[in-house]
Amino acid sequence: MTQQDRTGDTGDTGDTADTVDTGRTVDWDALRGLATDAMAHAYAPYSKFPVGAAALVDDGRVVTGCNVENASYGLGLCAECGLVSALHASGGGRLVAFTCVDGHGELLMPCGRCRQLLFEHGGPELWVETPDGPARMADLLPFAFGPDDLSRGA
């Protein structure tokens, strides 16, 4: 759950960088490296499955998180939860690019619950690193339920 003082690289970054719809260049290798660093701090004594996550924020900050398990298994926190907590603890903002890794530093897709959490803090335009390349959250969580839907039931 650390906050990094780094921005998306706007220089020539080679094949690992993409310019997302916001016009910001994302160095996915660097972002994945920060997720791997966060994963090293995971607390996963029960599953033995450490996870790290990193995301670029709309103001250029990078926030990270790792999973934290609990002996009461259902109370464990995913890396994405730590990341969103770090986002708000460091000033808030909107997530614009996200990646997640397993204990070997390999790309890992967020579960459905975490996709919903990320949607809340990045919206449908959030870019998520996938095995097929960056994809918008709108494509990974179509027809998502969000804050605007709450007023419909009132």
Cβ-count burial 54-75 (b if 16+ within 10 Å, e if not): bbbbeeebbbbbbbbbeeeeee
78 in a labelled binding site: yes
Identify whether the C-beta of residue 85 lies closer than 8 Å to the C-beta of residue 97: no
Indicate if 80 belongs to the active site.
yes
70 in a labelled binding site: yes
Identify whether the C-beta of residue 31 lies closer than 8 Å to the C-beta of residue 65: no
46 in a labelled binding site: no
125 in a labelled binding site: no
Structure-token match 């990646």, residue found: 99
Q: Name the active-site residue from 80, 120, 125, 129.
A: 80
73 in a labelled binding site: yes
Beta pairing, strands 52-57 & 95-101: antiparallel
Question: What is the C-alpha separation between 32 and 30, in angstroms, rounded?
Answer: 5
62 in a labelled binding site: no
Binding region for Zn(2+): 78, 111, 114
* Active site positions, annotated: 80
Binding region: 67-73, 78, 111, 114
Binding region for substrate: 67-73
